[in-house]
Chain A
Amino acid sequence: MFAIIRKDLLLELRTKETLTSLLLLGLLTLLVLSFAFEPGSDVRVEAAPGALWVAVVFAGVLGLSRSFLAERENECLQGLLLCPVDRGSIYLGKTAANFLFMTAAQVVVLPIFVFFFNLTVTTAFGGIILTMLLGMFGFSAVGTLFAAIAVRTRAREVMLPLLMIPLVVPLFIGGVTVTHKLLIGKGLDEVSQWLNLMLGFDVIFLVVGWLVFEYAVED
């Protein structure tokens, strides 16, 4: 499992393809959404959580669909499957690597989000970062499973968002709600039910993914 994380990270460090595209897509989404709302109006603060999470989802879907594209070239996935390890471990390794990429991209996107939407940095951002970590982990857990599937279908670029977006609705609603509440100055205890829901989602789909990944990759 750690070998797979290491392999993916190493590949990324050498090429920097995924990270760059994740980052740019995240930024472009924020840019487009900034144009969509009147600058300086109150609507901007109301719309900010939505904009942030749309950026996370779009960048996430793109990054995830890339994660198995590299494996597909030169039959790398076959090589991985021939390794004497449990298929579940491959899934866990890929999920962890995808999660790390998404997190790395958000490290840059989040400050720029604050900058564009003219937000005041408060202690609430600790909670927002926690929520984003929970959200991105769930995206990786669901997305890694379906990326493995989508990459082997004919319409792979379209298939992944089609499969993923309806399934991650709870994370999206949770993320937007928590971010909004924290931005208007509510405490962490008021959003704990959402954080629990997101954590539950992450755990459940990590287990489901780990169990069924085998069927997604076998021939």
Chain B
Amino acid sequence: MGESNGKTLLGNLIAALAGATMLAAVYMVFVYVPTDSAQGIVQRVFYFHVPIAIMTFLAFGVVAIASAMFLWKGTRTWDRLAHSSGEVGMLFCSLVLITGPILAKPIWWTWWTWDARLTTALILCLIYAAYLMMRTVTTTGEQGARYAAILGIVGAVDIPIINRSVYWWRTIHPAVLVTREGGSGLSDPRMQATLGVCFAAFFLLYVWLVWVRDENARLQDALEDLRQRVLGSR
């Protein structure tokens, strides 16, 4: 019980930290940071959009590494981490695809453009939708974990190639819009500070969500083990 208490404490600590930085981030985005002179008030979405996008890549990177470790070692811990990170990554990826158009419409005058980053994010979302679906269509959890791990690895290998191909594709059909936003516009130190706090907030949110999801999966596994044992002893 001592170990589990320590774990709960650590989990609560991460939750508290994530909550505090998130509050700070919201305050900074809405009150503290000055409005961008060129892009207007909507530019504030950017402070959420970019950290979430980076966290999506982090999440799917964790999926790939945990998947490789699972196939190598075969321990359930790695699979649970991959699964949890995949679910949180999917959430973040959807958020990127939602916040993106909100930002794009007033600034680029279009909801969607087949820019390399947008296209990659969309395909990423589709690959990991299949990844999560893989868990539900297999007959046993063990099999689902292994198949999902294969897709987790193949997907990660594929992402750089996809990115390259959509990048070339758009440079060949000349883009009408300026497709690069980058951090170049953040000249004000208050803007940089806000972006930094948002990064921290979303990183902690990611860690906490994965933590909670992982605990949930661990309890599910423990319950399944217990059920097997009870059914076996009868």
Contacts and interface: CB of A to CB of B under 8 A. Distances in A.
Interface of A: 142, 145-146, 149, 152-155, 159, 162-163, 165-167, 169-170, 173-174, 177, 193-194, 197, 200-201, 204-205, 208, 212, 215-216, 218-219
A219 B166 CA distance: 37
B155 A153 contact: no
29 contacts: A149-B151, A152-B138, A152-B139, A153-B134, A159-B133, A162-B129, A163-B130, A163-B134, A165-B126, A166-B126, A169-B123, A169-B165, A169-B166, A170-B165, A173-B165, A174-B165, A177-B168, A177-B169, A194-B168, A197-B164, A204-B157, A205-B154, A208-B154, A208-B157, A212-B71, A212-B150, A215-B149, A215-B150, A216-B147
A204 B161 contact: yes
B54 interface: no
Chain A contact residues: helix, strand, loop or mixed: helix
Contacts of A201: 161
B137 A215 contact: no
B224 interface: no
Given A169-B166, A215-B146, 5 more contacts: A153-B147, A154-B139, A163-B130, A177-B168, A216-B147
Interface in B21-70: none
B127 interface: yes
B172 interface: yes
Name, among B157, B165, B168, the residue most crowded by chain A CB atoms within 10 Å (CB to CB). Answer: B165
B143 interface: yes
B212 interface: no
B153 A208 contact: yes
A166 B150 CA distance: 15
Contact of B150 (A149, A152, A169, A197): A149
Interface of B: 71, 123, 126-127, 129-130, 133-134, 137-139, 143, 146-147, 149-151, 153-155, 157-158, 161-162, 164-166, 168-169, 172
B166 A173 contact: yes
A162 B133 contact: yes
Given A154-B137, A154-B139, A166 B166 contact: no
A181 to B, nearest CB: 8
Contacts of A163: 130, 134, 151
Contacts of A204: 157, 161
Contact of A149 (B123, B147, B168): B147
A167 B154 contact: yes
A196 to B, nearest CB: 10
Contacts of B169: 173, 177
Given A201-B161, A216-B150, A152 B143 contact: yes
Q: Return the 4 tightest CB-CB contacts between A and B, nearest first.
A: A170-B165, A166-B126, A153-B137, A155-B137
Among A145, A155, A170, A201, find the residue whose CB has the most chain B CB atoms closer than 10 A. A170
B137 A159 contact: yes
Contacts of A177: 168-169, 172
B130 A166 contact: yes
B144 to A, nearest CB: 8
A219 B149 CA distance: 15
